[in-house]
Amino acid sequence: MQSVNPFSGQVLAEHPEHTAEQVESLLVTAARAQAAWRGRSFDERARVLRRIGELFGERSGVLGELATAEMGKPLRQAEAEAAKCGLVCDFYADEAADMLADEAATAESHVRFDPLGLVLAVMPWNFPFWQVMRFAAPALMAGNGLVVKHAPNTLGVGKAIVELCREAGLPEGLLSLVVVDVDRVPGLIHDPRIAAVTVTGSERAGAAVASQAGAALKKCVLELGGSDPFIVLDDADLDAVIPAAVMARVQNNGQSCCAAKRFLVEKGVAAEFTSRFVAAMSALTVGDPAGCDVGPLARPDLAVELERQVAASVAAGARVLCGGERDGSFYPPTVLVDVAPGMPAYEDELFGPVAVVIEVADEDEAVAVANASAYGLAASVWASSARGRSLAPRLDVGGVFVNRFPFSDPRIPFGGVKKSGYGRELGRYGLLEFVNIKTVWAE
């Protein structure tokens, strides 16, 4: 397996796949480490986790450079991602003990929260530090061990995470990186030492892993794709909306599950929004991720697929107002209008900086169009606060953000419904995904 810089095309590193014997040794070590770790107190676990967080903060610059080199995200965003990993470590170091404290049930019983064991994590390349650590921090504080199967093109990041955690004092093997191709993941899922599975990735990857986890009768958490609606009603402040709309679409070069993809704009402000949005998208700089607004997509095939989706939509009647022409791994910020049901731009997830603007008559039509999607990860509503809040119960998504584009925060649960997956990460609900909720009755 290779790490390849998508900007320069340079091969950064070769990563030999683990042999069956190496995987077996890794699992033996991981199981032994987890058995000891579950006996440690919350205070002991928290001390290690806080040190991990400190190292992420201290090294956000060099870690950000690594992420940018491997998958092409703008450097300042990569540095912020690494620093954010420190925040999730601190949050669970501070809060997990209280969140997992025994709960009284009846006069004779209580509920306790015990670790499940080893959790297999199948992780993506788009947020290669954050996706791992937002799962790892709560899972470790709960007493679990982690076996991480990272994306082939960001294995350098995966190795850096393991090395950083080991340096911080995490026992050897407690967070392990297994270097295998996807065809060997089912064997890992069915291994009796693996207690549960978590996946962040595409709908296809999630379905494949979930089917194996189901066959093995193991808990599974899925955070999958999204085609998130960004609803703009006629009482929204466009001066605030436009820059937010641009960032909501092009952050991480548009390669984010919870990025805004469909911009549903009420008729009264549709023309002004579209004009200003196109101008702002057209003004973004595209090039070297060390200094530009938008860098290359993570792999050439991803840009080719995005080009195919746009071309098929245009052939069916959509119009391109800006962008729309691929240059190798680069795809420029693009705005499409006249998009209708049946087009890829209407039905599918566009994993790159392509925005779809759809005019709606009123908030009822906005909700109807927003919900007319196979996905249900997150939505944002731009309007008066009261009006925005009133739409929240009607939107079929895992999170609604009023006058803020969707984001993940250690304090609040994150996840979706429909084909965006099931289960939650972050907050207390994310912490409880990988524990044994155990009833204890004592007369």
β pairing state of 109-115 and 103-106: antiparallel
Task: Note whether 181 and 154 are within 8 A (CB).
Answer: no
In angstroms, the Cα distances linking 286 to 109, 248, 329 are 61, 17, 11
| Residue 351, token pair as written in the block | 């994993």
Name the DSSP class of 170. P
**DSSP result, 410-430:** TTS-B--EETTEES-BSHHHH
In angstroms, the Cα distances linking 438 to 213, 214, 364 are 22, 22, 44
Number of residues written out for the chain: 443
Q: How far apart are CA 49 and CA 374, in angstroms?
A: 37
Q: Which residues of 248-264 are buried (b: 16+ CB within 10 A; e: fewer)?
A: bbbbbbbbbbbbbbbbb
Q: Which residues are catalytic?
A: 223, 257
| Residue 254, token pair as written in the block | 């548009």
Written as one letter, the residue type at 390 is S
Task: Note whether 391 and 367 are within 8 A (CB).
Answer: yes
Non-local CB neighbours of 162 within 8 Å, separated by 6+ positions:
148, 175, 176, 177
